[in-house]
Amino acid sequence: MSTPQEKRSPQYQMRLPEDFRAQLEEQAKADGDPTLAAWIKRVLRKELQARGIDPKG
């Protein structure tokens, strides 16, 4: 049986200016995403789909 840690993908760290991060968090909340990370993943998947790429994972 795998542990929860084995199922996690590696973290990707980003430095975001405070004002920019606040804008992103506001949009994530407006879209109903629980976290900024969830919103960013959804936006990136949407961008891949717009380019004709099927997002994996």
In DSSP notation, 1-57 reads: ---HHHHPPPP------HHHHHHHHHHHHHHT-SSHHHHHHHHHHHHHHHTT-----
Print pLDDT tens along the chain (57 aa): 556 666 788 988 999 999 999 999 999 999 999 999 999 999 999 999 999 999 997
In sequence order, what are the residues at sequence separation of 6 or more whose Cβ sits closer than 8 angstroms to the Cβ of residue 24?
16, 36, 39, 40
To which residue do tokens 């405070």 refer?
18
pTM confidence score? 0.78
Q: How far apart are CA 4 and CA 36, in angstroms?
A: 21
